[in-house]
Structure 1
Amino acid sequence: MPHTPLPPRHRASARSMRKVLTPAELKLWNDLRAHRLMGLGFRRQFPIAGYIVDFACPEKKLVIEVDGSQHAAGGAAAGDETRTARLEQDGWTVLRFWNDDVIRDIENVCQHIVIAAGIGGVC
């Protein structure tokens, strides 16, 4: 899949972000990687439309964002809305989960992802 043009510093940032996952991102990545979730292929810290998303399933045009409490603040929340609108404009479905939800209820998070991918079934 061709990438949207991305400045080299952003691509370098994505590479470094892949090496330092938050505990919630790591937990989710362990369920998503290597087609573990119903055969869906996910990429992490994936560049799309000038943004670097936490996880993306290009086949289903599905983006997963794992957000910490800093995303609840006014400026960050508005930025997230702008980002989501831009991705949706390009045909991506964006799912957002709080870190706490991923840590405490990974099965429900996975179930939401599978449903959004249009597969149905359980994790």
Structure 2
Amino acid sequence: MSKENTPKPSKDAAAKPKRAQDVYTLVVELGRREGDGLPTSATGAGLLCYASGVDEAEAVRETVAVLKTADMNPLEVTGYGTLTEREAQGLEIDEEERALMMRALEENSVIVAQMTPYFAEDDET
């Protein structure tokens, strides 16, 4: 086989080394939208999510995109960091939460771990 027939690596592949994925803990505040699946009397909801990404910005973008395709109305996203960052803050992470984070990493996905609907009477306290 001659050198002329040997495939050359693309410039894009050489210029952009693949960055490692991590999992980020995010809390997403939802507003109402028709067909969102929230209880009828809810004014919105909060979601605890674990999302994979090469950085937190990518994890947020992917989470918002997934929620929008599910007819949800994400209003605000707050990031709480990676597992390593949270442990460095002295937070205890239980085995169930670790398992969900590992699942998000393995599946390169967004996992909604908890949903808390908000109701009008909650706002009055």
Q: Give the TM-score normalised by structure 2.
A: 0.28
More helix by share: 1
Over alpha carbons, which structure has the higher Rg?
2
Q: Whose RCO is larger (CA < 8 A, sep 6+)?
A: 2
- Normalized per residue, the structure richer in strand is 2
